[in-house]
Amino acid sequence: MRKGVTLKSLPPSERPRERLLAQGPRALTDAELLAVLLDSGRPGVTAVEVAQELLLLGEGGGHPLDYLAEAPAEELRRVAGLGPAKIARLKAAVELGTRLWRARAARPSVRTAAEVAALLMEEMRRLDREEFRVVLLDVRGRVLGVETVSVGSLSTSVVHPREVFKGPIRRSAHSVILVHNHPSGDPTPSPEDREVTRRLAEVGRIMGIEVLDHIVIGDRQFVSLRERYGPGVLL
């Protein structure tokens, strides 16, 4: 980018913010991502150029972004055009990234039906109505999240595949485990439970999201449909 050229004078396809929205953040360089946060530069210098100056401060001491995370605000103000508001945005973005990394690193992994049941038992065994939930897993079996699909009686009309797979699609889940409770405390699967399992597993195969199991939670006990009836219950 030539000196003196403003971001607003560039075609939209070349502006960092517009490129981020159109192509995603991975399409941008470190300097361009920082420029999105800075929003503006200083007279005669674009936000991208200010970001490049900022990254230069961190050269020679590891990755420049490590410097950005650790440098005190007073030191960052050595870059002309960086005031308290911009420095605060940069520090906030770095901290959010750090917290996201920690959250992902802390995701529990589940390998057995007992581990899934333990994850939800204390909460779901006390419910006075049936709730149908979906445990979302990544390719390594780590829990991406647990989403409640329906509250009420379990039936094919209440548990609609569209609602079951909405979250897994949105969060790019590799596979799912179905879970619901029996308020009676008896986790014995009903014929309806088996039918819902078969139907959702079929939809999952079509969508490329494997249904690994369906677990019914009772009072301090559970039943895995896969363990009780074999893999055929998912076919």
pTM above 0.75?
no
Question: In terms of CATH, what superfamily is 113-234?
Answer: Cytidine Deaminase, domain 2 (3.40.140.10)
Rounded mean pLDDT of 199-204? 95
Long-range contacts of 166-173 (CB under 8 A, 24+ apart): 167/134, 167/136, 168/134, 168/136, 168/209, 169/207, 169/209, 171/136, 171/144, 171/145, 173/136, 173/137, 173/138, 173/144, 173/209
What per-residue string of b and e applies to 21-40 under the rule 16 or more CB within 10 Å gives b? Answer: eeeeeeebeebbbbbbebee
Res. 157: pLDDT tops 60:
no
Give residue 4's pLDDT.
46
Q: Could you tell me which residues come within 8 angstroms of residue 6 by beta carbon, excluding any fewer than 6 positions away?
A: 46
Q: Is the pLDDT of residue 117 over 90?
A: yes
pLDDT at residue 183, rounded to an integer: 92
Q: For residues 63 and 232, give the distance between their C-alpha atoms in angstroms, rounded to a whole number.
A: 51
pLDDT computed for residue 143 by the predictor: 93
Confidence of residue 6 (pLDDT cuts 50, 70, 90): low
Summarised one tens digit per residue, pLDDT across range 43-101 is: 888 889 999 988 888 776 667 888 888 888 888 888 888 899 999 999 999 888 888 87
Q: Angle, to 10 degrees, between the axis of helix 191-207 and the axis of helix 161-170?
A: 40
| Confidence at residue 54, expressed as pLDDT on a 0 to 100 scale | 87
Lowest mean per-residue pLDDT among 28-42, 49-63, 111-125: 49-63
C-alpha triplet 196, 117, 142: angle, nearest 5°: 90
Residue 235 has pLDDT above 70, yes or no: no
Quick one: pLDDT at residue 188? 95
Q: Which of the two residues, 211 and 98, has the higher pLDDT score?
A: 211
Give me the pLDDT at residue 80, please.
84
Return all residues near 52 (Cβ < 8 A) that are at least 6 apart: 31
**Predicted pLDDT of residue 61:** 62
In the predicted structure, residue 148 carries a pLDDT above the cut 60: yes
Q: Tell me the domain boundaries of the chain.
A: 7-105, 113-234
Sheet containing strand 143-151, edge to edge, reads 143-151, 131-137, 175-181, 210-217, 222-224
Question: Is residue 154 pLDDT above 60, yes or no?
Answer: no
Which pLDDT band holds residue 182 (cuts at 50, 70, 90)?
very high
Which of 159, 156, 129 lies closest to 147 in space, CA to CA? 159
Which pLDDT value is given to residue 105?
67
Q: What is the mean pLDDT of the chain?
A: 87
**What confidence score (pLDDT) does residue 225 get?**
95
- Residue matched to tokens 């986790």: 187
Q: How far is CA 233 from the centre of its chain?
A: 30
